Amino acid sequence: MTFDPKDCGTCPIRHRAVCARCENDELEQLEAVKFYRSFEAGQPVIWSGDTMDFVASVVSGVASLSQAMEDGRTQMVGLLLPSDFLGRPGREFAAYDVVAVSNLTLCCFRRKPFEKLMSQTPHIGHRLLEMTLDELDSAREWMLILGRKTAREKIASLLAILARREASLGLRPQAKDTVFELPLTREAMADYLGLTLETVSRQISALKREGLIQLEGKRQVIIPDYAALLAQTGDDCDGAIMS
Amino acid sequence: MTFDPKDCGTCPIRHRAVCARCENDELEQLEAVKFYRSFEAGQPVIWSGDTMDFVASVVSGVASLSQAMEDGRTQMVGLLLPSDFLGRPGREFAAYDVVAVSNLTLCCFRRKPFEKLMSQTPHIGHRLLEMTLDELDSAREWMLILGRKTAREKIASLLAILARREASLGLRPQAKDTVFELPLTREAMADYLGLTLETVSRQISALKREGLIQLEGKRQVIIPDYAALLAQTGDDCDGAIMS
DNA sequence: CGAGTCCTTGACGAGGCTCAAGCACGGTGG
DNA sequence: CCACCGTGCTTGAGCCTCGTCAAGGACTCG
């Protein structure tokens, strides 16, 4: 089944996005106000303060939300992957800078009709609540990383998170090694982790030197022993979030 | 009008908590499953991993959510003030350590009936979504603080946030100076900001020495010039979130 | 080949952490 | 009434991690 933009039934994120719980009649109403937009890697999607007349789901690719300080320091505060939701119903102006980290396709809904639909039907609101609570949880995990971890632990944590997501997609046949493509540049990783890109580079080199990771080119990461990497994150291993 | 625990109509957080939008019949159903619990400053409310058979609103006082690493480092990831919501519908086990920072009173709802009520009526879910989105926004502001700010900027930011909240309560007659009680110990502030308590103490002393703040005892803070304090936060002043 | 982008590595310095000592204040008990 | 203790806070000295500045390598594209 290939993806037909006219038919939500064939959409790759149909069962995980904000529309996951919608009945057919709700989907039809959404389809009436939806449109697709694509961005190339590195392109801005919207700047903080701009008027935002749509909300959107990420169909493919990766987008980042960042906040800037007046002197130019910047911190990534959200990383949007396929099926994640962009925008806030009821908010007219964007609160963050949004950038396409990789090539990106959004499924956009005009904001006003979306809000109206949300107030009339329960499924969108419920799903959005669930997704927002999940995002709050990951924001809190992220806060622990930013506030208390060393540079080495930060890098290990990020790699572990990406590897875990890769595994959860379940696409990979039972390979011993976890392999994935880094969707972020060194600079974006630094932005994510509250480090400089030099420190990121040094720590990745160190992990490679010690055999905890291998690199195929700059972006392909191979993790020969996931547990060994986890041990470098500093996390309390049995303290996993249960939901 | 004094607060009568039997009557939600007299509740001090009636118009801001998760029940803010409820109609009278919904309130009655909530009242049937609610009970109050109080904690003294410093007491634990619940530990991460414990079963959580209630959710709650903070009626008065302050509670913190924190995460711990295996070696004991700890990071506060949430600060709950009156009207804030504790717990996650659908989640059986607590994901964070919750501690009463000051004397604390919770309005608790048994979790199962609360979830049922939520699925049957729209108002609770809508309000909870709104509150969760707000919390996500403050979590993201916090991430910028943790990831990119200097110790001095962190302290200034925290004081500015507390002062702003104080001002927004509007209780204070048009005083030139903003005055408020610090609800946190130095250690809790350090936990909040990803610093050590020594650094917190040094930076507070520095701000005092430079006249940006004054202290009455250890906990009473006077801010003679709010704008001057804001200038120390490093924030882009016109980049305020608009909602 | 040159230019641009992304990454790596080195040298150095500063900001914040660690360790340690001591102060202020309030409560308790002799 | 005062000695004693516990808690919370302050201050100092020294060290280490990570940021800054700088140079140069790997790769792609025109």
Regarding whether A138 and A38 lie in a shared domain, the answer is yes
Say if A209 falls within a structural domain. yes
Q: Say if the Cβ atoms of B125 and A128 lie within 8 Å.
A: no
Higher-pLDDT residue of A215 and B177 is A215
Last residue of a domain, one of B105, B139, B173: B139
% pLDDT > 90, chain B: 81
Enumerate long-range contacts of A219-224, CB under 8 Å, 24 or more apart.
Answer: A219/A181, A219/A182, A220/A179, A220/A180, A220/A181, A220/A182, A221/A159, A221/A162, A221/A163, A221/A179, A221/A180, A221/A181, A221/A182, A222/A177, A222/A178, A222/A179, A223/A159, A223/A163, A223/A177, A223/A178, A223/A179, A224/A176, A224/A177
Residue A162 shares a structural domain with residue A132 = no
Q: Name B173's bridge partners.
A: none
> What's the pLDDT score for residue A241?
45
Is residue A1 in a domain?
no
Q: Is A139 at the interface with chain B, CB within 8 A?
A: yes
Q: In chain B, which residue's Cα lies nearest the Cα of A127? A: B129
List chain A residues with CB under 8 Å of B132: 129, 132-133, 136
A176, pLDDT greater than 90 = no
Nearest to A198 by CA among A211, A185, A210, A187: A187
Instruction: Say whether both B88 and B164 belong to one domain.
Output: no
Contact at 8 Å (CB) between B234 and A71? yes
Q: What is the mean pLDDT of residues B135-139?
A: 97
Same-domain pairing of A71 and A12:
yes
Whether residue A223 lies inside any domain: the answer is yes
Structure tokens at A151: 């540079």
Q: Is the CB of A150 under 7 A from strand C?
A: no
Which pLDDT does position A175 carry in this prediction? Answer: 61
Encode B141-154: b = buried (16+ Cβ within 10 Å), e = exposed.
bbbbbbbbbebbbb
Q: Taking the CA atoms of chain B, what radius of gyration do you get in angstroms?
A: 19
Task: Judge if B96 and B209 occupy the same domain.
Answer: no
Identify the CATH number of the domain in which residue B97 sits: 2.60.120.10
Question: Do A156 and A47 share a structural domain?
Answer: no
Does A121 map to a domain? yes
Per-residue confidence (pLDDT) for residue B237, from 0 to 100: 62
A35 bridge partner residues: A108
pLDDT for residue A106: 97
Question: What residues make up the domain containing A216?
Answer: 149-231
Q: How confident is the model at residue A239 (pLDDT cuts 50, 70, 90)?
A: very low
Q: pLDDT at residue B63 above 60?
A: yes
Q: Which helix (H) or strand (E) holds A39?
A: strand A34-39
Average pLDDT of B221-227?
93
Give the model confidence (pLDDT) of A30-87 as tens digits.
Answer: 999 999 999 999 999 999 999 999 999 999 999 999 999 989 999 999 999 999 999 9
Which chain B positions have a beta carbon within 8 Å of A70's beta carbon?
234-237, 239
| Residue at which a domain ends, from B79, B114, B139 | B139
Indicate if A19 and A44 belong to the same structural domain: yes
Rounded CA-CA distance A67/B83 in Å is 27
**HEC-encoded secondary structure of chain B:** CCCCCCCHHHCCCCCCCCCCCCCHHHHHHHHHCEEEEEECCCCEEECCCCECCEEEEEEECCEEEEEECCCCCEEEEEEECCCCEECCCCCCECCCEEEECCCEEEEEEEHHHHHHHHHHCHHHHHHHHHHHHHHHHHHHHHHHHHHHCCHHHHHHHHHHHHHHHHHHHCCCCCCCCEEEECCCCHHHHHHHHCCCHHHHHHHHHHHHHCCCCEEECCCEEEECCHHHHHHCCCCCCCCCCCC
Nearest to A153 by CA among A165, A139, A141: A141
**pLDDT digits over B164-211, tens only?**
887 776 555 556 788 998 999 999 999 999 999 999 999 999 999 999
The nearest CA of chain A is from the CA of B174 a distance in Å of 30
The reported pLDDT for the residue numbered A237 is 63
- Nearest one of B54, B48, B12 to B30, comparing CA atoms: B54
Kindly determine whether residue A140 and residue B92, on different chains, have CB atoms separated by under 8 Å: no
| Number of domain units in chain B | 2
The answer to whether residue B15 is domain-embedded is yes
CATH number at residue B159: 1.10.10.10
For residue A184, being part of any structural domain is answered with: yes
Evaluate whether residue A22 is within a structural domain. Answer: yes
Last residue of a domain, one of B139, B158, B190: B139
> Is there a single domain that holds both residue A86 and residue A58?
yes
Q: Is the pLDDT of residue A26 over 80?
A: yes
**Per-residue pLDDT, A174:** 58
Chain A residues with beta carbon closer than 8 angstroms to that of B148: 69, 73-75, 194
Question: Per residue in A147-159, pLDDT tens?
Answer: 999 999 999 999 9
> What is the Cα–Cα distance from A187 to A102, expressed in whole angstroms?
13
Identity (one letter) of the amino acid at B218? K
A186 CB neighbours strand C below 7 A = yes
A107 and A87 within one domain: yes
